[in-house]
Amino acid sequence: MSGQPDQALPRGVKLLHDPVRNKGTAFTEAERDLLGLRGLLPPRVCSPAEQERRVMGNLRAKESDLERYIALISLQDRNETLFYQVVVNHIEEIMPLIYTPTVGKACQQFSHIYRRPRGLYISLQDRGRVREILDNWPHRDPRIIVVTDGERILGLGDLGAAGMGIPIGKLSLYTACAGIHPTQCLPVTLDVGTNNEAFLNDPLYLGLERRRERGPAYDALVEEFISAVADVFPDALVQLEDFGNCNAFRLLAQYRDQTCLFDDDIQGTGAVALAGLLGALRISGGELGEQRVLFYGAGQAGIGIGNTIVAAMQDQGIPREQACGNCWYFDSRGLLVSDRDDIPLQKQPYAHDHAALDDFAEAVRVLKPTAILGCAGRAGVFTEAVVKAMAELNERPIIFALSNPTANAECSAEQAYSWSDGRAIFASGSPFGPVALGNRTLVPGQGNNAYIFPGVGLGAIASGTTRVTDEMFLAAARVLASLVGEEDLAAGRVYPSLSRIREVSALIAAEVAAIAYRQGFARAPEPADLLADIRGRMFQPVYPHYA
């Protein structure tokens, strides 16, 4: 833009306080004169690269990752372009700070480190006024809404309104990893109370000071929210995030065929784990339909992964009953077997005819799985006995410790490698560094949903789809698995480098959009070159010119 500034553009201090338009010390001399900034900034004009160096220097000087998180969120609150420039250019260093594992600690401390509001809070006190609250959002075209009720934050449990850090973090990844414009991202927390005793006794807790609501009042608030979004923001995709098991499966089943909606903990986790398993099979050999998978944990993540694996097997022509029989679950009551009482609906396909077992290592020895996947948030349950049993049964045992944050991982990368004499194919939910073993360096893969959900969201926006289908997540998993290179596999890594995440997201988005067109859910005109169209839509963290 040149000449006179846009009449809608704020001037002076208001412009410096607008995180979307602010350039900080990068405003040029001409822009400072044109926009009333002369004297409000130090005299030197800094390049974006110089600003980035300053940010990274300050970050690396901090004494803890939580302090780095606070510094990054503060940067996001004052200069979003610079924030995303830093994230994109240093994704492997920054992602663990703005998302798992650091975001878990940030959520636990949310009420104590709170600085500036971000997103929308909708509580039980707001019933009947949800549309009015959505109208208060300053950006009129949100395309991605991440909503949580804070009941199952990572592996940390019920954090109530303090769970807002998760939608904020997820949407930062939508922008950094898939180029969805920051103004098209809306984080939402449904505050229905908390059963976290520490929070209820904390005078600084920012949420409702009451126990968590269940039943009709809860359902009515969710229904009002979904209806209001469809009315106020009809082009938005809704991502359910970190709902408790008692609500996640039923809410997904209730709304997925009514609106453009998915649950990342169920579907996104399923897709990223399937991609990792497909990558692992390129190392170990064998076909997907030949695998026997034993899960530790039968919550959203575990069942979501099982459902995705079963769907992939069915797609290869394997009957559903046989595919379900390849997936076994060990939960808080031991091995999931058919004669157990009160089996929840989502677990029933995986309750097999077998004697009860209450020791996981014994379950490994008896069932002889080719892969074990941990998704219950129970640190250390993949013991030395478990890993050694897997190594005795398999030349290349597949061991995925997927629970977040890092402190909840079922085992560490070093443990998996050392206890298996370096033969384990390991992946985790939170990052672990390379492990030196003898004359080799093994690089563990990180099965982070950030490989999946940003691309799915970008594909949904590009096509204007009215639904998000299971086929889209299967396709996303296959695309991700196909991008694992031979060098990755040689190092033991079953996911591509995070440095390629924007390429990964673009390719997933193109496949998701293509499915939306084939299935008849797309509302946008189909472009001649879908991938080029998607790449052209991706937000680049580059300052605009105002003069």
Q: What is the mean pLDDT of residues 12-16?
A: 97
Specify the pLDDT at position 5. Answer: 45
| Distance from the Cα of residue 86 to its chain's centroid | 19
**Per-residue pLDDT tens digits for 208-242:** 999 999 999 999 999 999 999 999 999 999 999 99
Specify the pLDDT at position 6. Answer: 55
Q: Is 23 a catalytic residue?
A: no
Q: What is the mean pLDDT of residues 522-542?
A: 97
Specify the pLDDT at position 528. Answer: 96
**Per-residue pLDDT tens digits for 367-390:** 999 999 999 999 999 999 999 999
- pLDDT over 90 for what percent of the chain? 96
Q: How confident is the model at residue 99 (pLDDT cuts 50, 70, 90)?
A: very high
**Per-residue pLDDT tens digits for 285-304:** 999 999 999 999 999 999 99
Specify the pLDDT at position 4. Answer: 44
Q: Is 14 a catalytic residue?
A: no
CA 290/CA 7 separation, integer angstroms: 64
Specify the pLDDT at position 395. Answer: 97
Would the pLDDT of 1 be above 90?
Answer: no
CA 400/CA 381 separation, integer angstroms: 12
Mean pLDDT computed over every residue of the chain:
96
Residue keyed to tokens 């034993």: 294
Would the pLDDT of 252 be above 70?
Answer: yes
Domains of the chain with bracketed CATH = 12-91 (1.20.1370.30), 102-259 (3.40.50.10380), 264-547 (3.40.50.720)
Specify the pLDDT at position 322. Answer: 97
Q: How many CB atoms lie within 10 A of CB 17?
A: 12
**Per-residue pLDDT tens digits for 137-169:** 999 999 999 999 999 998 899 999 999 999 999
Q: What is the mean pLDDT of residues 332-338?
A: 96
Specify the pLDDT at position 3. Answer: 41
Q: What is the mean pLDDT of residues 503-530?
A: 98
CA 234/CA 84 separation, integer angstroms: 27
**Per-residue pLDDT tens digits for 432-472:** 999 999 899 999 999 999 999 999 999 999 999 999 999 99
Instruction: Specify whether the CB–CB gap between 444 and 428 falls below 8 A.
Output: yes
Instruction: Give the residue with greater pLDDT, 191 vs 430.
Output: 191
Would the pLDDT of 27 be above 50?
Answer: yes
Q: Is this model's pTM higher than 0.85 or not? A: yes
Specify the pLDDT at position 155. Answer: 85
Among candidate residues 99, 174, 495, 546, the one labeled active-site is: 99
Q: How far is the CA of 457 from the CAs of 102, 269, 416, in angstroms?
A: 24, 15, 34
Q: How far is the CA of 521 from the CAs of 264, 343, 530, 536, in angstroms?
A: 20, 35, 16, 22
Q: What is the dihedral of CA 502, 508, 479, 104, to 10 degrees?
A: 60
Specify the pLDDT at position 485. Answer: 95
Specify the pLDDT at position 2. Answer: 39
Specify the pLDDT at position 358. Answer: 96
Specify the pLDDT at position 379. Answer: 95
Among candidate residues 170, 174, 347, 546, the one labeled active-site is: 170
